[in-house]
Amino acid sequence: MTLTDKSAFETGDANEHGYKTFTIGGFTFSRDEFFAHVSWPTGRHVLSVDTFLRALQRDVAWDFFYGTVNFDSVIGTVNHYGTVDLFAGRYNEAYRRAELDHVENFDTPMLREAFKSMLDDWTNASYDPFASPAETGKPFGVKDGFNTEAVTRRRIAAARMVGVPGDEQIRSDEMGFPINRMFADVGQEEPVVEAEPGFESEVAAFNLFAYLSRSNVTWNPSVVSVCKDSLYCPTTEEYILPVFHGNDRVEWFVQLSDEIIWDVQDRDTGAVRSKVVMRAGDVAAMPADIRHQGYSPKRSMLLVWENNSADLPELIATGRAPQYPIDF
């Protein structure tokens, strides 16, 4: 099997609903008009195809992200940065106790290609899994075309900073990024930069609020500035974060506008840890041993601040670095 072969993970013809069925390792994924069905050697699971596609889209676009991406309380992935665990019930105490949980480890490119094929086949023409539900069609029904352009969106990842020559550029109407309906009042003035001669390519500044007001996706942290391992990953949020993100490092949140309500659970068992309400100006640090899901009643701006150091998961897992960011 070659990884570029789109059919490598498909099992034959489309089903009666028009969708392909996919297998990878011992896992089989199929969908009908409303649900994704997942089976593995010791069990099976069903979840809304809306939830499933929104989560799958993030896992694909983020290349499995930091730590754990829980599609729901049963299905998800753990990134080992080179390989990825695909699991069912592994971080669910009841499944563990009943010994129905299952984990398989794959080389990252293999699972990435399988997920990309499934996302493309299962996403119909009018549905965009990255969009707010208020700004896209429905994911339900029989197979009805493709939306390949949306599901293969390039993720913004600045090498230094948005606006620096040769790097990611600021957004504009001309580039196809109109101001979102919920951010019509956000000022669009850009800062004036007066660099000394010879430093024009070294000095840059941009209006982050204006930049975010033109984001056409939700719950998709993208890198706008980089200082060594310090990544600023702001994002706009509306409705529900489609995954429970399980951290393998501390993650800082700065609420830039409006409000997000966070459900915070134990990363491994799903036991409830806390409910966090963040309003504009609030700052929080999510510890390295939790999972979290956010609810944004109105489109809001969130700055996610990530430490990209490859050493962190191991340092934290072995107790040489703390699960939390700071001692008071």
Check binding of 245 to Fe ion (CB under 5 A): yes
Question: For residues 49 and 302, which CB has a smaller minimum distance to Fe ion in the complex?
Answer: 302
CB of 32 to Fe ion, least distance (A): 31
CB of 253 to Fe ion, least distance (A): 8
Strands (E), the chain: 22-24, 27-31, 35-40, 43-48, 68-70, 75-79, 83-88, 102-107, 225-227, 230-240, 244-246, 251-255, 259-266, 272-279, 283-286, 290-307
CB-nearest residue to Fe ion: 245
Instruction: Tell me if 298 sits within 8 A of 238, measured CB to CB.
Output: yes
Q: Is the dihedral of CA 198, 209, 67, 318 positive or negative?
A: positive
Q: What is the DSSP letter of 314?
A: H
CB of 264 to Fe ion, least distance (A): 10
Per this entry, what is the length of the chain?
328
Of all residues in the chain, what percent are helix, strand and coil, respectively (each to 5)? 20, 30, 50
Question: For residues 77 and 124, which CB has a smaller minimum distance to Fe ion in the complex?
Answer: 77
Candidate ranges 152-160, 188-196, 236-244, 249-257; the one touching Fe ion (CB under 5 A) = 249-257
Check binding of 58 to Fe ion (CB under 5 A): no
CA atoms lying within 13 Å on the CB side of residue 140: 6
Q: Which two tokens stand for residue 103?
A: 């984990």
CB of 136 to Fe ion, least distance (A): 23
CB of 314 to Fe ion, least distance (A): 19
CB of 292 to Fe ion, least distance (A): 6
First to last CA, the chain: 54
Candidate ranges 45-53, 208-216, 225-233, 238-246; the one touching Fe ion (CB under 5 A) = 238-246
Question: For residues 90 and 245, which CB has a smaller minimum distance to Fe ion in the complex?
Answer: 245
Question: For residues 128 and 251, which CB has a smaller minimum distance to Fe ion in the complex?
Answer: 251
| Distance separating alpha carbons of residues 160 and 304, to the nearest angstrom | 17
| Distance separating alpha carbons of residues 7 and 117, to the nearest angstrom | 8
Please name the amino acid found at residue 2: T
Question: For residues 100 and 256, which CB has a smaller minimum distance to Fe ion in the complex?
Answer: 256
Give the residue among 41, 31, 8, 36 at the shortest CA–CA distance from 114: 8
Question: For residues 214 and 245, which CB has a smaller minimum distance to Fe ion in the complex?
Answer: 245
SS3 185: coil
Question: For residues 20 and 292, which CB has a smaller minimum distance to Fe ion in the complex?
Answer: 292
Candidate ranges 54-62, 69-77, 237-245, 295-303; the one touching Fe ion (CB under 5 A) = 237-245
Which residues make beta-bridge pairs with 255?
Answer: 302
Question: For residues 206 and 219, which CB has a smaller minimum distance to Fe ion in the complex?
Answer: 219
Candidate ranges 26-34, 124-132, 178-186, 241-249; the one touching Fe ion (CB under 5 A) = 241-249
Candidate ranges 12-20, 208-216, 223-231, 243-251; the one touching Fe ion (CB under 5 A) = 243-251
CB of 192 to Fe ion, least distance (A): 35
Candidate ranges 1-9, 95-103, 178-186, 244-252; the one touching Fe ion (CB under 5 A) = 244-252
Question: For residues 102 and 245, which CB has a smaller minimum distance to Fe ion in the complex?
Answer: 245
| Distance separating alpha carbons of residues 24 and 207, to the nearest angstrom | 44
CB of 6 to Fe ion, least distance (A): 30
Candidate ranges 114-122, 148-156, 251-259, 307-315; the one touching Fe ion (CB under 5 A) = 251-259
DSSP 113-150: HHHHHHHHHHS-TT--TTS-GGGS--S-SS-----HHH
CB of 151 to Fe ion, least distance (A): 22
Residues that bind Fe ion (CB under 5 A): 245, 251
